[in-house]
Structure 1
């Protein structure tokens, strides 16, 4: 079965923005778009109410995928769009729908005043159990937001894409993560900006204060290691410009800063199971809540 770009839809502003982003991405990938609206059956006491019954709720929720599909077909001629309504707990249903998807796209409420995301429990639950890439799109995201400024200083869909940003841990580099990011940059015709944040080894905290020469030695070591990790990819994709950045300090802070000038931010999530549940990671968690660009999270071993 051909894979699709699948989007979780609930009629909210953030899910509509996610659907539009997913439509644009499906066209870039040459895939079809699948809209999934999850309907939770009404509890028995509520279903007996004359105006809030299960049939009434289902009638109105069925309009969401149908009307959204119609609107996307008008705005994206030629794109194969299907809409589907499924029943059950949203996190479980979306996780199951993701099995046949190239990637899953979810909406995330914007945080007023600081420009980031509010990732709800459904999104976090889906992400924690995902084995396919999951993209989070904030409410209000527009196609122009992913492009460079035009000559008068306004973002425009007619200008080139902003760079794709990849957050990379060089101690645990993953081919699937790097491949996803460079492919995203290539199909957008833009550059890949690789951001690596580092801190001195723990034993430096117990020794004498590091001097400038020692700091420079550590910085050079990290930069050289990053270049070596990326070398096979720059040789394989010579047409895609790859810039490397090694920064001292928290990787999450540097990625949030880079998101202001990105069309897409890509980070990885190592699949680790524990008695306390699936692990998302502090860097990914920080980025999901404060990025101003769409965020793609790629699960890997």
Structure 2
């Protein structure tokens, strides 16, 4: 699944092509994704100009003067920018065409993504209203995590992966941040000190910033034949390295299942 850094990379990739352009045509080939694409999407969008391309959690928001297109890429989706006409493939479910011949094409093999039209304030939509703070914002602090964790027996890794607590900390990035903060991912969230939560908040920011930078540097041309950014191109210290030596102490990285997710950590460095 595309995580926050990948979605941010996509946002940065498509923004120069579509911001300020007017929608000329909308083609929907597969209306039934995770949620049905609105039947009136074309009439809502045609003639509208994209004023901003934003991200909230893992959702992309294409804001116009009359409403907002919410895009979610689900488990396998991605967007491509086409500057020349190209025949759609089997899983190319929708095109948004713009002035100047630009086309934004949604490909989603598993069809778990979404294209939804929102009237009014997007922040009030049910998909967005209950989300926690952005991890790169000033709202995410160690003090905030400490207060939210009091009395919680839930392990700290699923705690920071809860989008109601903080958005965008996926499985890979949670493992990496906890390693940097020196925190055992299975430790109860309510038993971690304020000092350690302050360290963890900073580690989350560092890992995500590095991942965004890595995605950006591997994205040579968002309108190329493939169109996929280079996911997870950053150097991972624990995730996927079960049995390999820890880069700090040399002990073997351990792999466990935690909250039905693969979790990697160092028993020596993380307490």
Q: Which has the larger radius of gyration?
A: 1
Q: Same fold (TM over 0.5)?
A: no
- Judging by fraction of residues, say which structure has more helix: 1
Place the TM-score, normalised by the shorter chain, in its bin.
under 0.3
